[in-house]
Structure 1
């Protein structure tokens, strides 16, 4: 059970500041540990479940998806569904499975949906062009009459990588809706917008880095324009070849420069690997207000 306790988080952050640790460096060993295989994805397509074991790999290509069928991705730490009818992601969830880095102790929906705004013509004729599945990594590419949508995910206690990349003739609007317990807020230490739930697990009162964990994340856009923001929803215009990603845990508050302006053959140079200062956790997050409607 998770008990709301922002005061505990506040005390932990204050203790860090009092100790003169307003900025802390994540040890390289911690970053390396995040690259270890700790999860295992199983993906169900058209009633068949693919679940390779022990470093083996499953690849499938050019598979038709019957109307109404969803692609179901289940991991040890992360699970979600992809609906070919909308090319959207639904119920991206942290399971809360036992792990020293977990941020929740029960299944928690982080995103209710991540859905592109496309016409019926653009969404027609969807096929699974390719799926690559190995251990805790999965890549799924759907092709429709209008273009492609690529999904990449990692099964990690703090989410790991998740990216949604459109390839259409023009920009694609993607709307993110947070889970019912989460909200967007302005981080008091960084001035950036994060999302979280203001909670920390009672069963994990203190992390290995010396302060309380909480469910904390941020949207990670590349070649995008933000169109709308409130406490539960963001809408982004994403260029073809750009992407909407997300990060959780310490990566969500690292003082990095952000993603590069890259739409083709992008390198993994945005991965920080513990080399950038990490400020304290926010003390008492307040949801962003809903903008007034004209």
Structure 2
């Protein structure tokens, strides 16, 4: 079911007006045309043929690892175990949300000591035309990167595996900002731009780049209009979700039809409540 149909059905069930939140005809990443990842390591570029796979194991690495796809590009710096310049290319695709290269995340960088980083090596790299998995073995653990070369969907995640929680700092690209989605009450990020005119949209969410951070076994430590900090448990992950998958409907949300991202833009920082000292069970709803 398309996002437009899904939203219409949900809205009718809730007795509210349906609005399209992402480009018409959007679908999950698996429905996109295949991508074409190429990865450059130590000056050598690996670009497997369609339906083929390239594997690397236990390889010393010097310098930045460059990941270049049809829809997505980014760099991995072994010196920090961080991701830099995660960019949507705007390549022609029915599901694209931008029409020119747009940096979605300037960086996704873990806060680690020199001892924890050590001298990283590629423990494993599995590369297909539209899918890449890179695991870096570091001094005190390892960092796993998984990416898909699609125009939208759940197409990136970063997974630390260390003896303690790892703080990961997300910094948006210069044109993007975090905002409160009035439909859901949740925090999304976007650029507020019409993908055709590259001007501020005047007709609503359906013309805008839309995404969200997707944590698993992770706690938000800080939030402002451009930066989030997360504490991620070993084996947890920080993902990035773009387009349809970034939408979560909730009953009773207010409607927003014009420049919603701009008016709801997060300014300053959002306080993060302290963690509870003892788990408290949720109340049981009355019959």
Q: What's the TM-score, normalizing by structure 1?
A: 0.77
Partner of 2:265: 287
The verdict on how the C-alpha distance between 1:74 and 1:48 changes in structure 2, with shifts beyond 3 A counting, is same
- What are structure 2's unaligned runs of at least 5 residues? 1-6, 200-204, 272-287
Partner of 1:217: 211
Alignment of 1:53-72 (within 5 A): 53-66=49-62, 69-72=63-66
Partner of 2:275: none
Say which of 51, 54, 79 aligns to 2:47. 51
Partner of 1:202: 196
The verdict on how the C-alpha distance between 1:36 and 1:108 changes in structure 2, with shifts beyond 3 A counting, is closer
The verdict on how the C-alpha distance between 1:135 and 1:37 changes in structure 2, with shifts beyond 3 A counting, is farther
Residues 123, 146 of structure 1: 8 Å contact kept: yes
Deviation at 1:59, TM superposition (A): 0.3
Deviation at 1:25, TM superposition (A): 12
Deviation at 1:214, TM superposition (A): 1.2
Partner of 2:285: none
Partner of 1:136: 130
CA–CA distance in structure 1, aligned partners of residues 37 and 258 of structure 2: 32
- What are structure 1's unaligned runs of at least 5 residues? 1-12, 206-210, 257-278
Q: Which has the higher contact order (CA 8 A, sep 6+)?
A: 1
The verdict on how the C-alpha distance between 1:282 and 1:87 changes in structure 2, with shifts beyond 3 A counting, is farther
**Count of matched residue pairs:** 248
CA RMSD for the aligned pairs?
A: 3.0
Partner of 2:146: 152
- Which string of whole-angstrom CA distances, capped at 9 and with x for unpartnered residues, describes residues 204-247 of structure 1? 99xxxxx8331110000000110000000000000000000010
CA–CA distance in structure 2, aligned partners of residues 222 and 137 of structure 1: 21
Deviation at 1:159, TM superposition (A): 5.6
- Which string of whole-angstrom CA distances, capped at 9 and with x for unpartnered residues, describes residues 39-73 of structure 1? 1100000000000112000000011012xx00000
The verdict on how the C-alpha distance between 1:198 and 1:124 changes in structure 2, with shifts beyond 3 A counting, is same
Partner of 1:269: none
